[in-house]
Copies of this chain bind each other. A is one copy, B any other.
């Protein structure tokens, strides 16, 4: 009865080697879930089909177990379907009113992830699934050897296991200060905050710098639409149209000055100028200068997300916005997640000192700082020169994958879709041009075939015809097979 990965079904199987019939094992398992309170009153069991399948038993075996539990008053079938842990019978008799967690879960004010995002988060761990949209490097592209090296070095030095400084380890901030200088950004250690991934920086900014109800400007589509950090903090999002060169500046100026956010001053523009997620676009040099001027004229600040900046494939992108900032208008965030390792959970935020200190104080209140092990590893990563060596090795690999995916697109999607050729990052923004096709249907059809795609509406609620493809994760064989299945599913839907 070994536990395996919990997924939609159940993380447990009866064991034929145990001298107890399968249905009795199932009965005991469920009884235990209920008596330990892991399944509370009102909990809805997964559908019988899913349960039987994930336990690897016949439906009739499962039903025999469930019947016994129903007879014991522990679970009950409900009109309209579904089997639930009893709320009134067994529990109430034994213990008075059971705790109503289901209500509690609905009452917390933090938004849940979109259903598709929750599905994706789970499906990513299904063995054998082909991930065509995943925004992270394939395991084989990650610098495992370098990390083993780093861990060995760490094991030879003495370390602090205590709570660290609010802004993060000084040694790491010094190493980052040097690294940022190579990107044209002048940042003292005192102007840097270490975060547990840049998602956390977004979260801190949303609760620490922006008044509830204020509006944030951002590219449309944007990564930021796919998460709820800003909405959960009560912020409004005002999408600015893009073209191939990034943000449409005249439209932005209109929105800053104008009527689109009446009563909601927009203190902040969030932008991903280099290798945008999801469109892959790069804001050119002139556009960046225009953006800085527009921000100055309009009195707004900028949050620059540099997650993909190091991942250029053809040539380095133009200088970052922060490098053009002369009055502390730009907050700049970076992360090791995209180019190095998302599991490490290590990012940084650069900005004016008072801002950094305020956010460090909030960070202390939410998690007392980023793991010291992750900080030490990151320090050695930069200070030991691993970063640039890794990037030099990574780029040709990613370039090959990108070219291969473009080839597959030519082969399978000609006539039904259009796409860009990204100069870096991970993403291709595929647009179906042939008559209406439901992306939601396509998503579920692909999932049935074991292929996971990222629908465009994750990045723009109203988008109806895009997919975000990523060439960073799937192997070439998976890409080949996955793209073929995707094209087939799309053509099926188009025909029906």
Residues on A lying within 8 angstroms of B by beta carbon are 3-6, 11-12, 32-33, 35-41, 43, 91, 94-102, 104-105, 107-113, 118, 121-122, 124-125, 136-137, 139, 142-144, 147-149, 151-152, 154-156, 158-167, 170, 174, 177, 186-191, 196-197, 199-200, 203, 207-212, 214, 227-229, 232-234, 267, 296-297, 299-301, 325-330, 337, 340-346, 352-355, 358, 361-362, 364-374, 377
Contacts and interface: CB of A to CB of B under 8 A. Distances in A.
Count of this chain's copies in the oligomeric assembly: 2
A133 B296 CA distance: 47
A276 to B, nearest CB: 20
B188 A162 contact: no
Contacts of A365: 110-111, 113, 199, 203, 227-229, 232
A46 to B, nearest CB: 11
A338 to B, nearest CB: 11
Nearest to A364: B121
Contacts of A91: 327
Q: Which residue, of A137, A154, A343, A354, has the highest number of chain B Cβ atoms within 10 A?
A: A343
B368 A370 contact: no
Name the 7 nearest CB pairs between A and B, nearest first.
Answer: A37-B328, A343-B372, A161-B341, A151-B155, A40-B328, A6-B190, A108-B208
Nearest to A342: B163
B346 A35 contact: no
A212 B212 CA distance: 14
B210 A107 contact: yes
Contacts of A151: 151-152, 154-155
Given A95-B296, A108-B362, 20 more contacts: A3-B177, A6-B167, A32-B186, A36-B326, A39-B328, A40-B327, A43-B353, A94-B327, A98-B329, A99-B328, A105-B208, A107-B214, A108-B210, A112-B358, A163-B337, A199-B367, A341-B372, A343-B373, A345-B369, A367-B367
